[in-house]
């Protein structure tokens, strides 16, 4: 599962939807204004860039103010009940704008649209069009349908669609870091997860189109790309060859990583999300071989207990996960590791919860995304197991996990104090424009005083001087 947009706090229902920032006027404009707001994971934000590109091609302009929009799209998340409730509340806020502009079109995209399908139109009268993650090419037609007076729905999932030929329009970008989606869907069937139902079967994108996109971004001044997939380790692409010609070898994730790293040693490469059952030593050795592939892995564990992992259908057990962590520590000693943890999954006992805490103690993660189990309609768990852990116990276990993680994040950050880190300047610190901010190799945020010799997009060496449990504080050293 992809972690939610990393605004230094992910999978975080508190995260506000992000309005689209795009050039306001475009060539061959049809004079209609588009407003997009995205929720959820990096893949959703990356998809909104595809949607923007498709509609800009049709002459739409953009606005950051939904009140002046002709078309409003919300790219929705369905990972937990809270995420869906947030979308419903937001739709209510659009009612007055639509009342003032009856011709305004309101549409929902993404995972909640795919999960609810046409039921969304019954439940939310304001909504005119419902579009699933694989049907964005159809948006211009669907908008025309609504213009002609009817509601429109396209939630067909595809086994081929990767939008490989569509050049994403970079949204809310700092011009330094960008996401590149390398695959869509997921073939794992973790019992708590809606993604296989809302994003369909796994398909890997054409390798050449990924490397081309990385090169174009580098040539456009970007210094970092993050390769996105629900489970990047199962990336595999076999180039099509004309009939009768000799088949070409399949490209796996390790090979894709090195192809992207070869674009330029000056281009940092990150990726998310890995899967414990599929991450190979070949990927780890590839990371160790390229200085510009960042030493950071997001490796969701979900639970530290083998019986609960089996109920979750995670297809690995406690020992397997620990062996993967040992391999990471052996092959890339300085690697940063983050994870996802779910507390209070169906029938989880106190002892099994303690095994999650002891797994965290064993790994000492740099940071983690931690949630109490939220039953999702249509998932295997909802069909097979009773959601039997009382809310207060789920919450108490979550608090224990969060407190332990805070200790470990501080421990990891203290480990960086007194050391020099290569940091890519991404912008100014949220706290003060007298400070720059950027991340080190391990994906930890570093804040340090502005030095006029350097600008956003430059690499600098920063000596870690102190830290909080979330940020390393330092100064540039030459």
Q: Which residues are annotated as a binding site for [4Fe-4S] cluster?
A: 41, 77, 111, 186, 190, 193
Please state the closest distance from residue 275 (CB atom) to ligand SF4, in A: 6
Please state the closest distance from residue 143 (CB atom) to ligand SF4, in A: 30
- Structure-block tokens of residue 447: 């804040």
Query: Rounded CA gap, 257 and 248, in Å?
Result: 18
Minimum CB distance to ligand SF4 smaller for 73 or for 197: 197
- Structure-block tokens of residue 451: 């030095």
Query: Rounded CA gap, 388 and 406, in Å?
Result: 28
- Considering only residues 392 to 431 of the shown chain, the ones binding ligand SF4 according to CB under 6 A are none
Query: Rounded CA gap, 120 and 280, in Å?
Result: 41
Query: Rounded CA gap, 409 and 364, in Å?
Result: 8
Minimum CB distance to ligand SF4 smaller for 192 or for 237: 192
- Considering only residues 262 to 301 of the shown chain, the ones binding ligand SF4 according to CB under 6 A are 275
Interacting residues of 67 by C-beta distance below 8 A, sequence separation 6+: 97, 100
Minimum CB distance to ligand SF4 smaller for 230 or for 305: 230
Please state the closest distance from residue 113 (CB atom) to ligand SF4, in A: 17
β-pairing verdict for 224-228 and 203-204:
unpaired
**Where do the H-state alpha helices sit in 117-206?**
119-123, 139-147, 195-199
Please state the closest distance from residue 377 (CB atom) to ligand SF4, in A: 15
Query: Rounded CA gap, 34 and 84, in Å?
Result: 22
Please state the closest distance from residue 342 (CB atom) to ligand SF4, in A: 10
Rounded to 5°, angle at Cα 355 from 352 and 356: 100
* 1 binding ligand SF4? (CB under 6 A): yes
Query: Rounded CA gap, 385 and 10, in Å?
Result: 28
Using CB under 6 A, pick the residue from 44, 230, 339, 443 that binds ligand SF4. Answer: 230
Could you give the count of Cα atoms lying within 13 Å of 56 in the half-sphere of its Cβ?
23
What distances in angstroms separate CA 473 from CA 35, 455, 478, one per listed residue? 37, 18, 17
Minimum CB distance to ligand SF4 smaller for 29 or for 374: 374
Choose one: 12-20, 30-38, 39-47, 184-192; the region binding ligand SF4 (CB under 6 A).
Answer: 184-192
Please give the size of the binding site for ligand SF4, defined by CB under 6 A: 10
In Å, how far from its chain's centre is CA 275? Answer: 14
Please state the closest distance from residue 205 (CB atom) to ligand SF4, in A: 17
* 231 binding ligand SF4? (CB under 6 A): yes
In Å, how far from its chain's centre is CA 386? Answer: 29
Site string for ligand SF4, 18-57 (x = CB under 6 A): ----------------------------------------
Which stretches of 215-345 are assigned E, i.e. beta strand? 224-228, 236-237, 251-252, 268-272, 296-298, 336-343
Query: Rounded CA gap, 377 and 71, in Å?
Result: 30
Please state the closest distance from residue 196 (CB atom) to ligand SF4, in A: 5
Please state the closest distance from residue 233 (CB atom) to ligand SF4, in A: 10
**Where do the H-state alpha helices sit in 232-343?**
253-261, 281-289, 306-311, 318-331
Minimum CB distance to ligand SF4 smaller for 195 or for 401: 195
The DSSP annotation for 149-209 comes to T--EEE----SS---TTS-PPP-S--SSEEEEE-EE------TT--HHHHH-S-EEPPHHH
Minimum CB distance to ligand SF4 smaller for 1 or for 152: 1
Q: Kindly tell me the sign of the dihedral angle through the C-alpha atoms of 320, 229, 157, 124.
A: positive
* 79 binding ligand SF4? (CB under 6 A): no
For residue 38, which phi and psi values (nearest 5 degrees)? -115, 140
Please state the closest distance from residue 356 (CB atom) to ligand SF4, in A: 16
Choose one: 44-52, 64-72, 183-191, 342-350; the region binding ligand SF4 (CB under 6 A).
Answer: 183-191
Please state the closest distance from residue 193 (CB atom) to ligand SF4, in A: 3
- Considering only residues 185 to 224 of the shown chain, the ones binding ligand SF4 according to CB under 6 A are 186, 188, 190, 193, 195-196
Which residue numbers belong to the known binding site? Answer: 41, 77, 111, 186, 190, 193
Choose one: 28-36, 137-145, 182-190, 397-405; the region binding ligand SF4 (CB under 6 A).
Answer: 182-190
Minimum CB distance to ligand SF4 smaller for 290 or for 320: 320
Residue with tokens 């809606």: 194
Minimum CB distance to ligand SF4 smaller for 63 or for 230: 230
Minimum CB distance to ligand SF4 smaller for 268 or for 275: 275
CB atoms within 10 A of CB 69: 26
Minimum CB distance to ligand SF4 smaller for 202 or for 352: 202
Q: Which residues bind ligand SF4 (CB under 6 A)?
A: 1, 186, 188, 190, 193, 195-196, 230-231, 275
């Amino acid at each position: 599962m992809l972690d939610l947009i990393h605004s230094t706090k992910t999978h975080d229902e508190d995260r506000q939807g992000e309005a689209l920032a795009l050039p306001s006027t475009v060539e061959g404009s049809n004079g209609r204004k588009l407003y997009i707001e995205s929720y959820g994971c990096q893949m959703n934000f990356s998809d909104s860039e595809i949607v923007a590109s498709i509609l800009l091609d049709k002459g739409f302009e953009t606005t950051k103010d939904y009140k002046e929009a002709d078309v409003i799209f919300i790219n929705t998340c369905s990972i937990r009940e809270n995420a869906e409730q947030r979308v419903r509340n937001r739709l209510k806020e659009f009612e007055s704008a639509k009342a003032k502009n009856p011709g305004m079109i309101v549409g929902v995209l993404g995972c909640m649209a795919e999960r609810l399908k046409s039921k969304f139109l019954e439940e939310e009268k304001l909504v005119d069009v419902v579009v699933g993650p694989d049907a964005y090419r159809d948006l211009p037609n669907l908008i025309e349908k609504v213009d002609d007076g009817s509601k429109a729905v396209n939630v067909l999932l595809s086994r081929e669609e990767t939008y490989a030929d569509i050049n994403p329009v970079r949204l809310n970008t700092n011009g330094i870091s960008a996401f590149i989606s390398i695959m869509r869907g997921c073939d794992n069937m973790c019992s708590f997860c809606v993604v296989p139902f809302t994003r369909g079967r796994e398909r890997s994108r054409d390798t050449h189109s990924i490397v081309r996109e990385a090169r174009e971004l580098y040539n456009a001044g970007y210094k970092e790309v993050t390769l996105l997939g629900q489970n990047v380790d199962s990336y595999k692409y076999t180039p099509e060859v004309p009939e009768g010609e000799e088949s070409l070898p399949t490209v796996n994730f390790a090979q894709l990583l090195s192809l992207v790293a070869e674009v330029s040693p000056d281009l940092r490469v990150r990726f998310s999300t890995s899967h414990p059952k599929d991450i190979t030593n070949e990927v780890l050795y590839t990371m160790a071989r390229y200085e510009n592939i960042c030493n950071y892995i997001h490796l969701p564990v979900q639970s530290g207990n083998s019986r609960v992992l089996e109920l979750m259908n995670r297809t690995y057990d406690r020992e397997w996960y620990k062996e993967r962590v040992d391999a990471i520590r052996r092959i890339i000693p300085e690697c940063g590791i983050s994870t996802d943890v779910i507390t209070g999954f169906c029938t989880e006992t106190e002892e099994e919860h303690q095994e999650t805490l002891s797994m965290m103690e064993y790994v000492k993660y740099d940071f983690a995304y931690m949630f109490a189990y939220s039953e999702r309609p249509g998932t295997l768990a909802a069909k097979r197991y009773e959601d039997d852990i009382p809310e207060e116990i789920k919450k108490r276990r979550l608090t224990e996990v969060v407190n332990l993680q805070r200790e470990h994040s501080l421990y990891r950050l203290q480990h960086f104090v007194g050391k020099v880190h290569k940091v890519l300047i991404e912008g100014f610190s949220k706290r003060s424009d007298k400070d720059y901010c950027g991340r080190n190799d391990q994906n930890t945020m570093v804040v340090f005083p502005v030095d006029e010799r350097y600008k956003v997009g430059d690499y600098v060496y920063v000596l870690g001087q102190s830290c909080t449990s979330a940020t390393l504080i330092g100064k540039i050293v030459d």
